[in-house]
Amino acid sequence: MAEDALPYGAWARARERFLEGLNEAERADFEDSSFENMFYSANTAQKAHEVDSKSRRLAERLNRLLAGMDEWGKALDVYSNSSARILSPLWGSIRVLIQDSCLPVVYYHSSGPYL
């Protein structure tokens, strides 16, 4: 009864119930798994994805293009401010598209360290 009062007892019972539903191969995998194994597997999958991913290569090329357009855009900001009637709405909408296009590329570059 004292075990029921502790929160750990509930977790231990849930773990035992989970293990009862596994076959022998799944149980062996579960027992052999550890944080280090999971981290290593995720890291290996991440590195394989970096090498084989077509979308990652495309995102890196797109990142270079968008970076160049962003630099070019700084110069166009001056022109759009000088003729605000025509160029500002046109360039402003293109600028928004460039900024929105950069978000998926940033995801590819920032997700690696978290795995």
pLDDT of res. 100: 73
The C-alpha atoms of residue 75 and residue 114 are separated, in whole angstroms, by 36
- Is 80 in contact with 87 (CB distance < 8 Å)? yes
Quick check: 93 and 82 in contact, CB under 8 A? no
Comparing 97 with 18, the larger pLDDT belongs to 18
Domain boundaries, the chain: 54-114
pLDDT digits (tens, 9 = 90+) for 51-67: 888 877 887 787 788 77
The reported pTM is 0.40
In angstroms, the Cα distances linking 86 to 24, 74, 90, 91, 92 are 71, 17, 7, 9, 10
- For residue 9 the two structure tokens come to 């007892």
